[in-house]
Amino acid sequence: MESEPTRRTKLLPRVIPVMDVMSGQVVHAVAGRRSEYQPIRSGLVHSTDPLIVAEALRSLARTDELYVADLDALQGRPRQRSLIAELARRGFRLWLDAGLRFADEASALFDVGVSIVIAGLETLEILEDVAILATDYGDHIAVSLDLREGQPMMKDRRRTWNHAIALAAALVHELEAKRLIFLDLERVGTSAGPGTLDLCRQIQAQAETVECLVGGGVRGPEDLPLLAAHGADAVLVATALHNGRFREFFAAK
């Protein structure tokens, strides 16, 4: 049974293309099992070159926004700075998840042209660094709360969170996060449907000014009204762009 949507229904959330990059190639992310990721096979473009794929996504979605997951950095290897700098030079408004560990690492990412730095709780060593980032950079920081089997994935283990909504509320009310990403890792790369609607709905009921993004399992345009009804401002999409599910939606805009 679906939960009740938020009282104030929003416009359809904007679609932000996602590009997962590992070892110089765009890969197909499935269920967060990074060791199993393979080079992408796309109906949109016959290439795994990140620059070529990025341009194809921009052409399809008619947006300069691009979410890049630097999987090398997320697995402890050097960040792909030259790629990020080139994407920024080409005018992409980059949302970058590059395995941020401490607040003082963010400035180097902004220096290469990143628009919004992702502070993923999976890699952030100190949860309270969210407050530092929020103070220093405001809504140029997005905090990513990733879930596996419904449980938050967190590097900082000093506090125990039994419910994701309690953690999300703390991010907003205690640490003053302006943007939250709710990502269901088990649904990434699948057509299971979005799995974090309740989280989005509940946090929007508490703080409507917080921007909420949802990722994982988005099947196509048919999911957008439901996401809007639950308060999502934007949706992160990869697989459904490459398999053609959004082609007619963007062509009609």
pLDDT tens sequence for the chain (253 residues) = 334 444 445 689 999 999 999 999 999 877 556 666 788 889 899 999 999 999 999 999 999 999 999 999 998 899 999 999 999 999 999 999 999 999 999 999 999 999 999 999 999 999 999 999 999 999 999 999 998 888 899 999 888 887 899 999 999 999 999 999 999 887 876 777 787 888 999 998 888 889 999 998 899 999 999 999 999 999 999 999 999 999 999 998 7
DSSP characters over 89-122: HTT-EEEEE----SGGGHHHHHHTT-SEEEEETT
Can you list the alpha helix ranges (DSSP code H) found in the chain? 50-61, 71-74, 81-89, 106-111, 129-137, 164-173, 197-206, 224-229, 239-242, 247-251
Strands 65-70, 14-22: parallel, antiparallel or unpaired by DSSP?
parallel
pLDDT at 2: 39
Environment class of 1 (CB within 10 Å of its CB; exposed 0-12, middle 13-18, buried 19+): exposed
| Cα–Cα distance, 234 to 210 (Å, whole number) | 12
Give the 3-state secondary structure of residue 60. helix
Stated pTM of the model: 0.92
Q: Where are the domains of the chain?
A: 14-248
Fold of 14-248: TIM Barrel (3.20.20)
Assign residue 90 a region (left: φ > 0; alpha: ψ between -120 and 50; beta: otherwise): alpha
**Per-residue pLDDT tens digits for 207-219:** 888 999 999 889 9
Q: Which residue has the tokens 């419910």?
A: 163
pLDDT at 1: 32
| Cα–Cα distance, 118 to 109 (Å, whole number) | 10
Backbone dihedral angles phi then psi of residue 70, each to the nearest 5 degrees: -85, 95
List the structure tokens of 217.
Answer: 């399992």
